[in-house]
Amino acid sequence: MKSLKIIATVAISITLLFCCIHAVKEEANEQQLAVNDNASLSVINNTQDSVLAYLTLGSIGDTNYVQSPIGIFGIQTGNSFWIAPNDTLTYQSANNLGINGNISFGVAPQNCPDTLINPTGINLFEFNLNDNFVVNAQETIDISCASGVNSIISATMTGGGYWNNGTDTVFDFINGKLYDNTGMSGVFPFGCDSCVGITPHTPYCSGHKPYATPQSKNICNIQRNASANGGIVIIQFNGFTN
């Protein structure tokens, strides 16, 4: 009888051990399935002063994309956020959820900025990330100086698939001052909404400065196939131009 009790105890122990191992494996599998391969977006303030930034989301109404700025970069209300000196803020959209829009520094985006307040206009960092749910989609990033330049913005891409300007691989890019962006990969020069020209879509702003020379070829968009997603797109604020 004692032997039977021992055998029964051992059998129960083995059963419990098997159940525990199975539960651990299931949890590990669930964690593996939950891994987020989306690209992250980081914003760094490379200056010694806190800076106010604005996040404007696109694709509103399309639930395949992030629909609200709340919770991104610590935003609690509205669409603006502060970045402390030398601080970094990072956001990664959920699996199967794209994000696109733009970020500006110091002032919200405007097609025709007040030339008294912003005499050289306003530039934006534009992004479209994590849209690999669309067949043959491209992720794209750029700095738009179409409405002017008020800040020096640079971008560095690390991890994930390589980015390119249509011809060459690009690891980083930066904008210059108002008339210093022709020939710069990843940058739409002042007034050049089509990269290689000024079109009727460029807003006519009363009293605007002469527009810059367009790019000689389409190098304004930095892109990669959306299936090569992942990594980090790092946006760096390097100070105001005025």
Return the residue matching tokens 């909404």: 193
Q: Cα(106)–Cα(181) distance, rounded to whole angstroms?
A: 20
**What is the pLDDT tens value at each position of the chain, 242 positions in all?**
545 444 444 444 444 444 444 444 444 444 444 588 999 999 999 999 999 999 999 999 999 999 999 999 999 999 999 999 999 999 999 999 999 999 999 999 998 888 888 899 999 999 999 999 999 999 999 999 999 999 999 999 999 999 999 999 999 999 999 999 999 999 999 999 899 988 777 766 777 889 999 999 999 999 999 999 899 999 999 999 98
- CATH number at 148 reads 2.60.110
Parent domain of 4: 1-35
In terms of domains, do 88 and 163 share one? Answer: yes
In terms of domains, do 127 and 228 share one? Answer: yes
| Alpha carbon 43 to its chain's center | 9
In terms of domains, do 198 and 227 share one? Answer: yes
In terms of domains, do 69 and 124 share one? Answer: yes
| Alpha carbon 229 to its chain's center | 12
In terms of domains, do 24 and 124 share one? Answer: no
In terms of domains, do 13 and 126 share one? Answer: no
In terms of domains, do 199 and 226 share one? Answer: yes
Query: Do 230 and 157 touch, CB atoms closer than 8 A?
Result: no
Tokens at 42, concatenated: 């980081």
In terms of domains, do 20 and 122 share one? Answer: no
Look at residues 105, 138, 102, 119 and name the one whose alpha carbon lies nearest to residue 207. Answer: 119
In terms of domains, do 139 and 210 share one? Answer: yes
Query: Do 205 and 12 touch, CB atoms closer than 8 A?
Result: no
In terms of domains, do 115 and 21 share one? Answer: no
In terms of domains, do 93 and 184 share one? Answer: yes
For 129, the 3-state DSSP assignment is: strand
In terms of domains, do 173 and 105 share one? Answer: yes
Look at residues 132, 104, 157, 146 and name the one whose alpha carbon lies nearest to residue 228. Answer: 132
Strand positions, DSSP E, the chain = 40-45, 51-57, 80-83, 88-92, 99-105, 124-129, 138-144, 151-158, 163-164, 169-170, 172-174, 187-188, 222-225, 232-240
Query: Do 109 and 102 touch, CB atoms closer than 8 A?
Result: yes
Q: Give me the number of domains the chain comprises.
A: 2
